[in-house]
Amino acid sequence: MPITIVAADPHPIFLLGIAHFLHSVNDMELVAQCDKAADIIPAVKGFKPRVLLTEIDFPEEDSLSTIRSVMDHDPDAKIVVLTSNINDDQTIAALRLGVQGVVLKHMPNRLLAQCIRKVAVGGQWWEKESVGHAIEKMLSREAGARRLATILTDRETEVMCLVAEGLSNREIANRLIVSEGTVKIHVHNIYGKLGINNRVDLTLYAQKKGIV
């Protein structure tokens, strides 16, 4: 039986090219095309493809949010991201969501076919140029988080990350549903434990340790 595929991309002309390519491959069958993110979930539910081939950036949808919805609906879904560009944070998020393959649009068609075949039978396909640096960054973050866990409490780590995002004490208090005074105490304790004197140094520390 052919590998059934739902293809999704916000550019109709590119979708047309994908359709032409998939129709030329004997062991693949394109069962649905989506040029809007909102159409992906209905297509996946209706056609139950073996593989969802999708771009991650749609004008009306946050990156990867549709993939998250697909995985919520079907944790065993097999998904290949076909995109022009994917940054480290998007790659890490895709890994954590369970995406099994990433192919960049400038890669040869034969590699896309190989990726789809591998993912369809439960394998993974990650292009080194799109994933290598991201995995290093993810491992660095996790190592940094483990080291930090021996110094700061979970709440202090959470506050530190929000400070590093540029939030004020008041904004952090609203986010965590605590008083602004409580946030000030946390920030003061973080400064003391890390030997840091201001928010800029704290942000630089968090970045150096790969926490943000």
For each of the chain's 212 residues, which pLDDT tens digit applies?
A: 899 999 999 999 999 999 999 999 999 999 999 999 999 999 999 999 999 999 988 887 776 888 888 988 888 899 999 988 777 777 778 877 888 888 888 888 999 999 999 999 998 887 666 565 555 555 556 555 556 666 788 888 889 889 988 899 999 999 899 999 999 999 999 888 888 888 888 888 777 766 66
pLDDT of residue 137: 59
* pTM over 0.95, yes/no: no
Identical fold between 3-132 and 147-208: no
Spatial distance between the Cα atoms of 180 and 173, rounded to a whole number of angstroms: 5
Tokens of 179: 């008083």
Tokens of 78: 């097999």
- Which CATH code, of 1.25.40.10, 3.30.2350.10, 1.10.10.10, 2.40.128.50, is assigned to 147-208? 1.10.10.10
pLDDT of residue 57: 85
Q: How far is CA 66 from CA 55, 70, 127, 131, in A?
A: 10, 6, 22, 20
Residue boundaries of the structural domains of the chain: 3-132, 147-208
CA nearest 79: which of 111, 117, 114, 51?
A: 51
The answer to whether the beta carbons of residues 176 and 154 sit under 8 Å apart is: no
With respect to CATH, is domain 3-132 assigned 3.90.1150.10? no
